[in-house]
Amino acid sequence: MNSVIELLKSHRSIRKFTEEKIPHELLLELVRAGQSAATSSHIQAYSVIHVTRPENREQIAELAGGQGYIASCSDFLVFCADMKRPTDAAERTGANVVRGMTEQLLVASVDTALMAQNMAVAAESEGLGICYIGGIRNNPQAVSDLLQLPEHVYPVFGMCLGYPAQDPEVKPRLPVEAILKEDVYSEDPDEVEAFDQTMQGYYQARTGGNKDSNWSQNLTPLFDTKLRPHMRDFLVKRGFEMK
Amino acid sequence: MNSVIELLKSHRSIRKFTEEKIPHELLLELVRAGQSAATSSHIQAYSVIHVTRPENREQIAELAGGQGYIASCSDFLVFCADMKRPTDAAERTGANVVRGMTEQLLVASVDTALMAQNMAVAAESEGLGICYIGGIRNNPQAVSDLLQLPEHVYPVFGMCLGYPAQDPEVKPRLPVEAILKEDVYSEDPDEVEAFDQTMQGYYQARTGGNKDSNWSQNLTPLFDTKLRPHMRDFLVKRGFEMK
């Protein structure tokens, strides 16, 4: 296992940070490393908002469900899928541009994720800790208003960055055999059951026996209600009509 | 710039590979490195199909618009957003599960992309070359049939992996100032125009003056028609109803 793979496999989310600030030049370098990720047809369909105003960070922390580290980490970024820049660019060449296709929503969301993950790896290679914040989709309209996002741009997730003040364990993942399938899709509920036992052991060890849960049980609250049911209308309103 | 950031910044797609095969144990290690990426609420909403049958690789190469390296690279993978595994797991706990939410499509697509990008970085750290294949969405139904994908699973993109038999230049990216914005969204068409000039120079140098185009012009064919207009119906049919 080379040192890069070792770094990748040591990832865990960090939610407690020291007071130390990330030098601005390093932050720029991390974004550049992010931009080096593959991008579909070179469209680079993303923008990153660096939220520096303390009152905005406080507000986003609250909108995301009370995640205080959004306000207290060194730097907080909002990764936006941005179809405005590439479609505007095409329009300026005189093209009649089509917007709002489902394909465009996917391309921009994937482009944004590839870029962010490269940036996460770059950050961790510098000894920083990161935490993705999907909670900004709890109220994406309020976040969009705060960041003055125009049409055809939507906030996909946030990211906290800073110097770690905690050293949590790496969380187990499904066995590779459950993920990688040969030639055709297959599934094996036994693998999930075995992983449920792994996670039960992990939670018990981590909480001194206080958390008696497993992977499947933890997923239940995500799916037994309509999670973020506003997303469809929100995206349509922003010009991602999913045509 | 540390060596990891240097590696990230040296990425370019590889489309010509030597005959050398990737050892299977290494491939598994790359997938494990992929799985170490962050995952929304730990759902790990992805499956990866390792396409080994030559006739299937030939067929996917054709479906993707005649990309022969899909058939000739050492290993070809199809990354699928998989909401079946986590929702089935929740269902087995006795939950009444909601499927087909727009939020779920986004979460699974982003999870898949984060995982794939980690895997791409791991591959490149081992001297491999990779190329993402968005072209599998040209005919995602045929690809899904070939891989026997069930409902609630859809193919997001493919990836070619192998030992590089070419050494292309790194493609320029937009300047970091165009991507990273402070506190509020802003845009500057001058930055795009400057980047158009950068890309024009890049194409001219690469083609000995034969390709006279720029970034904006290259984007035009992506947006002046309905790109992959089947995606919406395809996703709905697969159970991603975008509710």
Beta bridge partners, B77, equal B50, B159
Residue A209: its pLDDT value, please?
85
ipTM (interface pTM): 0.98
The rounded mean pLDDT for chain B is 97
Taking CA–CA distances from A133, the nearest residue in chain B reads B40
List the structure tokens of B60: 């996917």
Taking CA–CA distances from B194, the nearest residue in chain A reads A89
> Residue B82 — very low, low, confident or very high, per pLDDT cuts 50/70/90?
very high
Q: Strand, coil or helix: what is B156?
A: strand
The C-alpha of B113 sits at a distance from chain A's nearest C-alpha, in angstroms, of: 6
Residue A200: its pLDDT value, please?
96
Taking CA–CA distances from B47, the nearest residue in chain A reads A179
Q: Does A96 touch chain B (CB under 8 A)?
A: yes
Beta bridge partners, B79, equal B48, B157
DSSP secondary structure string for all residues of A40-63: GGG---EEEEEE--HHHHHHHHHH
The C-alpha of B162 sits at a distance from chain A's nearest C-alpha, in angstroms, of: 16
Q: Which chain A residues have a beta carbon less than 8 Å from that of B227?
A: 98, 101, 103-104
Work out the number of other CB atoms within 10 angstroms of the CB of residue B191.
15
pLDDT digits (tens, 9 = 90+) for A188-239: 989 999 999 999 999 999 888 888 899 999 999 999 999 999 999 999 999 9
The C-alpha of B220 sits at a distance from chain A's nearest C-alpha, in angstroms, of: 5
A220 and B86 within 8 Å at the Cβ level: the answer is no
DSSP secondary structure string for all residues of B67-113: -THHHHSSEEEEEEEE-HHHHHHHHHTT-------HHHHHHHHHHHH
A147 and B184 within 8 Å at the Cβ level: the answer is yes
A189 and B92 within 8 Å at the Cβ level: the answer is yes
B109 and A109 within 8 Å at the Cβ level: the answer is yes
Residue A210: its pLDDT value, please?
86
List Cβ neighbours of B26 (8 Å cut-off, separation of 6 or more). Answer: B126
Is the predicted pLDDT of residue B175 greater than 90, yes or no? yes
CA distances (Å), B109 to each of A28, A81, A156, B104, in order?
27, 13, 11, 8
Chain A, 134 to 193: residues with Cβ < 8 Å from chain B are 134, 137, 147-150, 153, 156-157, 170-171, 173-174, 176, 178-185, 187, 189, 192
Q: Are A217 and A124 in contact (CB under 8 A)?
A: no
Q: Which chain A residues have a beta carbon less than 8 Å from that of B75?
A: none
pLDDT digits (tens, 9 = 90+) for B107-159: 999 999 999 999 999 999 999 999 999 999 999 999 999 999 999 999 999 99
Measured between alpha carbons, how far is A218 from A86 in angstroms, rounded to an integer?
A: 39
A110 and B113 within 8 Å at the Cβ level: the answer is yes
The residues spanned by each domain of chain A are 3-170, 171-225
Listed as ranges, residues in chain A with pLDDT below 50 are none
Nearest to B8 among A92, A102, A121 (CB): A121
Residue A159: its pLDDT value, please?
98
Which helix (H) or strand (E) covers residue B133, if one does? strand B129-133
How much is the average pLDDT of B31-46? 98
Work out the number of other CB atoms within 10 angstroms of the CB of residue B168.
13
Query: Check: CATH 3.90.1150.10 for B3-170?
Result: no
A229 and B93 within 8 Å at the Cβ level: the answer is no
Nearest to B93 among A47, A107, A216 (CB): A216
Is the predicted pLDDT of residue B206 greater than 90, yes or no? no
Q: Are A83 and A104 in contact (CB under 8 A)?
A: yes
Residue A47: its pLDDT value, please?
98
> Amino acid identity of A48?
V
Is the predicted pLDDT of residue B207 greater than 90, yes or no? no
Nearest to A184 among B103, B148, B183 (CB): B148
Residue A239: its pLDDT value, please?
97
Taking CA–CA distances from A83, the nearest residue in chain B reads B223
**Mutate: best of A119, A219, A228, partner B, most B CBs <10 A:** A219
Dihedral, CA of residue A178, residue A182, residue A187 and residue A189, to nearest 10: -40
Is the predicted pLDDT of residue B211 greater than 90, yes or no? no
Q: Does A42 touch chain B (CB under 8 A)?
A: yes
Residue A27: its pLDDT value, please?
98
Q: Which chain A residues have a beta carbon less than 8 Å from that of B127?
A: none
Name the nearest CA neighbour of B112 among B138, B86, B147, B145.
Answer: B86
Inter-chain Cβ pairs, chain A and chain B, closer than 8 A: 357
Judge residue B20's burial from the number of C-beta atoms within 10 Å of its C-beta, 0-12 exposed, 13-18 middle, 19 or more buried: exposed
Nearest to A182 among B2, B52, B86 (CB): B52
